[in-house]
Amino acid sequence: MISIGPLVMAADRFAAILGIGAFLLVASVLAERREPRLGSWAMLAVVTGVAAARMGHVIEHAGSFAMEPLRAFAFWQGGFSFTWSVPVLAMVSLLRLRDTSARAWAVAPLAAGLLVWSTTLHLAEATAAPPRPLPALILPQMAGAPIDLGSTGGRPRMLNLWATWCPPCRREMPLLQEVARTTPGVDFLFVNQGEDRARIAAYLAQAGLNLPHVVLDSTSAVSRHFASRGLPATFFFDADGRMRHLHVGEVSREFLAGYLHDMAPAP
């Protein structure tokens, strides 16, 4: 996870954005000084490459998108398979850069983009804080007895940090409710951050949501425990209480399925 002021995003997305920026910058400089065709080639390469990566992700998870085909355009959820971009970039280069000299110059922006992308990913991984344990907190629920967040009871556990004012939180809630109902082996805890019981109840009633384990964290103690700066943030713990995944931002159906599968105990 990368935090820049109020902006919070996953490290892989941040690395991809910086890599694309470096690619376009070097291509623009070379277009002005050496090879004018590199400018239009670079823009076309980015647009078609990103579209191909998204299409590849959709094809690889066709079952997840079958009932919600329009979700293929929900780029903000993440989900790009950049191996699908390689043949597209090769075709664009062959069509737009027809001579050997232009293709030779194209190597420089490609190398710059890959270098910035890989370096950013490496630095993010090297400087990432170790996974934190479940917080030793007992918090009230909207319904039922207070719950001990630090005790899994030998079951995998998902903690979703959310708030009623958060648009991506609201968008992902119906999916999380559906998956919680169909995944009996995992405890789904929806830990509201900083809001009172009346506001939460009004929102849930208005949205027609019936979530299991709606937890009240009026002081945002859980966010402070995890040093989480953005919402929604969803933490996945295995049955032994080890954090396996952290997803910042709206989670998609295919990512959620992958996280839950990885948390499941070995047969």
Would you state the pLDDT for residue 194? 93
Which of 197, 226, 229, 230 is closest to 214 using CA atoms?
Answer: 197
130/118: higher pLDDT? 118
Would you state the pLDDT for residue 47? 95
Q: Residue 217 forms beta bridges with which residues? A: 193
Which two tokens mark 250?
């709206």
Would you state the pLDDT for residue 1? 55
Crossing angle of the two packed helices 100-127 and 11-33, in degrees rounded to 10: 150
pLDDT (tens digit, 9 = 90+) per residue, 119-157? Answer: 998 887 777 778 889 999 999 999 989 999 998 888 999
Question: Over the chain, what is the mean pLDDT?
Answer: 90
Is the Cβ–Cβ distance between 247 and 259 less than 8 Å? Answer: yes
Is the Cβ–Cβ distance between 65 and 238 less than 8 Å? Answer: no
Interatomic CA distance for residues 239 and 243, integer angstroms: 10
138-263: CATH architecture:
3-Layer(aba) Sandwich (3.40)
* Lowest mean pLDDT, pick from 86-90, 139-143, 260-264: 260-264
* Lowest mean pLDDT, pick from 86-95, 101-110, 123-132: 123-132
CA 90 to chain centre: 28
For the chain, the domains span 2-127, 138-263
Would you state the pLDDT for residue 59? 94
For residue 140, whether the previous peptide bond is cis, meaning omega lies within 30 degrees of 0, is: no
Give the angle subtended at the CA of 62 by the CAs of 177 and 43, to the nearest 5°: 105
- Is the pLDDT assigned to residue 6 strictly greater than 50? no
3-state secondary structure of 3: strand
- Is the pLDDT assigned to residue 2 strictly greater than 60? no
Tell whether the torsion through CA atoms of 41, 44, 47 and 49 is positive or negative: negative
Which residues are within 8 A (CB) of 244 and not within 5 positions of it... i.e. 6 or more apart? 236, 237, 238, 259, 262, 263
Which residues are within 8 A (CB) of 206 and not within 5 positions of it... i.e. 6 or more apart? none
Crossing angle of the two packed helices 167-182 and 253-263, in degrees rounded to 10: 50
For residue 40, the surrounding DSSP H or E stretch is: helix 37-60
Task: Find the mean pLDDT for residues 167-196.
Answer: 94
Q: How many CB atoms lie within 10 A of CB 23?
A: 24
Kind of pairing between the strands at 214-217 and 187-193: parallel
